[in-house]
Structure 1
Amino acid sequence: MLLHDFSEPLGGASHLVQVLLNGLRERDIPVTFLTGDAGRNFRRDDVDLVALGGKPLLERSRIGAFTTGLFNPASLLRLSAWIQQHDTPGTIYHLHGWSKILTPAIFGALRKVAHRVILHGHDYFNGCPNGAFFDYARGEDCTLQPLSRACLQRQCDKASRAQKLWRTSREIARRGALSGGTNVNRMLLIHPEQTRQFLLAGWPRHKLAAVRNPVTPVTRERVPAEAHRGVIFIGRISREKGADLAAAAAAKAQVPITFVGDGSEMDILRQINPAAVLLGRQDRQGMAQAISKARVAVMPSRWSEPFGLVALEAIGSGVPAIINHRALIANEVHSRGLGLSLDTGNIDEFAQALLNLHADDERVSAMSHAGHGRYLELCNTPDDWITRIIEHYRDVLNSSDDRSDADPVSSTFPAMGHHQSEGLRGIQG
């Protein structure tokens, strides 16, 4: 069973859930998909959909968000009923995102099958109350132990102290429902460097394993970035993603910028940079058209992005990326000559980097060729990613306490070759 807030690809994590779902079905592995929303745009008939019909917190009233958003009983009751009726010793429960609709209630139902539960660390909500290990009020990374006295006293939420208390209550509820918060078989991280934060949150090292995200370049052929002029930002138009920083830096450098995505700060972008092109949300073809005209992509997120899917999609397409130095892939990108790592919160430094890249065709060409040829050093192909996740499914079932005489591992998951077994060493070490 795959579990996620959303049934359609509305963001990075929900997109990856769909990639995983497709890959599992291509391998004839049966999938039940429990989703927090109504599933209105879900069109597959080869997947059993359990849609709870819930609304995202941002679409609820303030009272609804603070009550049902704290603990959604529908999640608990529906999943508990499904487990009672359909659970087998060969059933894996792979939970991706719960913070938008499902709430900590989902863990109350999963508690009885915790030894077959895998969490996915797309963010830090399985350890940090605000999901980021970032102090939004001060604009700096947070190194405090979650739920410690110092953490509880610090106002780090992007909105208010009241919301910090609400988010803290959700993390307390999650830990209570899951008998301490780490009572699952394992958590898959999207970058090895996430280990440090989750150890701080009390996770045992042996339950943490990194499986880097899959990346498919937006264009198959290399974009000749050295022949172009202009910046592209792809993603949610929000403060934490640093869209305003990109707009300001492009305006200061007097280079064109195109935004692909939507969000709460569209009007702010227009004020900061009236010349900016705002394309809104685009499908894959629209993204390809936009990126094929760009010289440089930017990922200026204020917080420590645990991966950076849009940056690597651009890099793999041949468009170098400027990445905030806090992102976990930033140094890897910089050291390989695929782009730049810098403090994108410093508008002068950010703008100067844009000017430098626009003035140096040879450097941009070198970055473009390097990124197009070497991006897989920092990520997986979709096929390899799915293979590695299935490895973990097999390992969970092989170590499960309630296996029957029949072998659910062999019957559910196909045999794997030599290179596919290498990923298990990381979780056993």
Structure 2
Amino acid sequence: MRSVIISDFGSVNGGAAKVAIESARGLAEAGVEIVFACAIGPVSERLDHPRIQVEMFRGEEIWKVGSKLAAARQGIWNAPAHAFLSALLSRQPAGTLVHLHQWTKAFSPAAIAAAGESGLPVAITMHDYFSFCPVGGYFDFKAGAPCTREPMSVSCIASNCDRASYVHKLVRVARQWRSDEAMRSLKAPLFIHVSDFARRFAEPFLPKSARRAVVENMIEASRRPPADVANNRHALFLGRFTQEKGVLVLAQAAREAGMPLRLVGDGDDTIKAEIARLHPNAVFAGWVPPEAAIEEIRAARCLVAPSLWYETGPLTVIEAMAQGVPVVLCRNMGAAQRVSESGGGIVVAAAETSLLRGALEALSDDTRAEQFGRAGYDAYWRNPLTLEHHVQCLLAAYGPLRAIAA
């Protein structure tokens, strides 16, 4: 078997790139010949494998390209990237599978078009909602709430919902138009969702001819005894400090619950200042390496993921369960079902201050915190999300596409 994996980035700078790189490595170790096409370096050492061939398109991240006009043009349609990928895919033997992970930062919708024009079977992992939503998160940043509009409808196009500006939104609309056009050229593509929640949410917006599969992302975790959460005191937020992540609601709720708050990650100065105002004793730890992030999780009373948007994951929730640390999260998140079914934490109806405060107050009880943490720990290790498990599920999902190619 042979697969071309397309990812804007050649090294880990976020969840999508990490999954693309790790799945490439895992597939190669399972005997699959991999061509890894990326545009932005450096190239991860994890791609150094006899069955992985890296093909680098020397591109730049869109909004770092010269003028704003040049950046917008490249974001809507990157013609050199289209030529690069078209030539690359034309050299592949019949039956090669094309797997798109990320294209909005450098390759543009030209990556989808090149895949469709190649005639090869195509899979797309939906780490977000850029496959149908111009802003990618189905979230209205001006309203501070999930979107309710039909993607690319008149109402959607007229809405000033972008994080930056309406002009920026119009650029994204133009890109989405090209993306939708390219999507229509795909013959029965496979959309891979990272959770069943994400599959059910996205399904109405995807082509009717598409195939769908759920393949959960992998995490790196060595089995250790559960964390001693009864002796931990602070709530932990791990990730980007952004509006849609609900970090401001958490800061207010933690202060009202009297629980210390530690934040690992970063964001712009404005949002950090607001967090400090809402919770004056909050501790900002900045970004830390992956191994240090695990120790941050183990030192917490609980991990809180209070997203306002329909988040497809996140992996941090699963990482906390693997360490025996209870989780507080909202039900509009992909990991909510796993937490609810395992009893590994508290799922609240929405990212509202009163609901989060109540959950944090409940976890102030040492016995309850230990019970939640142990339940999540036991559930995770009954069926751990290893790289090997991810690859097995991915190969099973590829099955129908391979049959078509044959």
TM-score of the superposed pair, with normalisation by structure 2: 0.90
**What secondary structure sits across from 1:63 in the alignment?**
helix
Counterparts in 2 of 1:206 and 1:94: CA distance versus 1, 3 Å? closer
Cα shift readout 1:14-41 (whole Å, capped 9, x = no counterpart)? 1111221221122232211111203355
**What residue identity is the alignment partner of 1:353?**
A
- Structure 1 match to 2:8: 5
Measure the CA separation in 2 of the matches of 1:261 and 1:249. Answer: 19
The alpha carbon displacement at 1:269 in A equals 3.4
Mapping for residues 330-349 of structure 1, pairs under 5 Å: 330-342=336-348, 345-349=351-355
1:68 to 49, 63, 74: 74
Alignment partner of 1:231 is 2:235: yes
Measure the CA separation in 1 of the matches of 2:32 and 2:337. Answer: 37
Q: Which runs of 5+ in 2 are unaligned?
A: none
Mapping for residues 118-197 of structure 1, pairs under 5 Å: 118-178=123-183, 180=184, 183-197=187-201
The alpha carbon displacement at 1:11 in A equals 1.2
Measure the CA separation in 2 of the matches of 1:9 and 1:190. Answer: 18
Cα shift readout 1:152-208 (whole Å, capped 9, x = no counterpart)? 233332232222222111111012234x26545311111223334433224227512
**What residue identity is the alignment partner of 1:294?**
A
Measure the CA separation in 2 of the matches of 1:118 and 1:351. Answer: 41
Alignment partner of 1:241 is 2:222: no
Mapping for residues 326-365 of structure 1, pairs under 5 Å: 326-342=332-348, 345-358=351-364, 360-365=365-370
- Structure 2 match to 1:30: 33
Contact 1:129–1:171 (CA under 8 A) maintained in structure 2: yes
More moved, 300-309 vs 261-270: 261-270
Contact 1:249–1:347 (CA under 8 A) maintained in structure 2: yes
- Structure 1 match to 2:389: 384
Q: Which runs of 5+ in 1 are unaligned?
A: 404-429
Measure the CA separation in 1 of the matches of 2:263 and 2:119. Answer: 42
- Structure 2 match to 1:273: 279
**What secondary structure sits across from 1:236 in the alignment?**
strand
Mapping for residues 362-373 of structure 1, pairs under 5 Å: 362-373=367-378
Cα shift readout 1:88-121 (whole Å, capped 9, x = no counterpart)? 1131111111112211111221122344111111
Contact 1:118–1:184 (CA under 8 A) maintained in structure 2: no
**What residue identity is the alignment partner of 1:127?**
F
**What residue identity is the alignment partner of 1:357?**
L
1:14 to 13, 17, 39: 17
Counterparts in 2 of 1:305 and 1:205: CA distance versus 1, 3 Å? farther
2:260 to 238, 256, 259: 256
Count residues with an aligned counterpart: 398
Counterparts in 2 of 1:296 and 1:246: CA distance versus 1, 3 Å? same
**What residue identity is the alignment partner of 1:93?**
V
Cα shift readout 1:307-361 (whole Å, capped 9, x = no counterpart)? 2211111122111111123213325423532111225642233233222211x11
